[in-house]
Amino acid sequence: MGASLYEPIHVYKPLAPDIGIVDGPFEYLTVPGIRLPLPFTTRMTVVRLTNGDLFLHSPIKFDERLARKLQGLGRIRHLVSPNQFHYAHIGEWARTFPETISWASPHVRRRAHARHVHVDFTRDLDSDAPEEWNREIDQLLFPGGYFKEFIFFRRGR
């Protein structure tokens, strides 16, 4: 596939003070061992909390140069799965940064296990934001039957 609207990939792109995005490589849908010709883009949101910890929402495929760049912004601490589809690379980041907390959304543990994706989730998200970010980031569990997703909102400073 040619150039995308998301390039360059693996580069932190600031959007506002202490918040930015990183676009990742294309991923492909798979069904029991078959890679479908349906590429989709990936994007991670990075929030620097006031204590210097980084909140990585929907971590993209691990990249060592990117990780070093992010460490210059703060301590990689929270690896957040907002739903049962955006978790696949959390394990890569957690193995590189074992001091992180890997946050599981509803059904994600079961889905990862079924797809043989190894992620040791540390804690579960629930309707109330945890004390680690509740003064800076609001969260809401959006109900949707089988597909539940956490929505995050960073309050202005």
Average pLDDT over residues 73-100: 94
pLDDT band at 2 (very low <50, low <70, confident <90, very high): very low
Composition of the chain by helix, strand, coil, percent to 5 = 15, 40, 45
Longest dimension (CA), the chain: 46
Is the pLDDT at 3 greater than 50, yes or no? no
The token duo for 46 is 């990075």
Instruction: Please report where in the chains the tokens 């204590």 appear, as a residue.
Output: 51
Fold of 12-154: Metallo-beta-lactamase; Chain A (3.60.15)
Higher pLDDT, 95 or 34: 95
Question: pLDDT, tens digit, for every residue of 106-157?
Answer: 889 888 888 788 899 999 999 899 999 999 999 999 987 667 899 999 987 6
Higher pLDDT, 135 or 83: 135
Instruction: Please report where in the chains the tokens 């079961």 appear, as a residue.
Output: 110
Question: pLDDT, tens digit, for every residue of 10-42?
Answer: 999 999 999 999 999 988 877 777 887 888 889
Q: Quick one: pLDDT at residue 5?
A: 55
Q: Where are the domains of the chain?
A: 12-154
81 with 106: CB under 8 angstroms? no
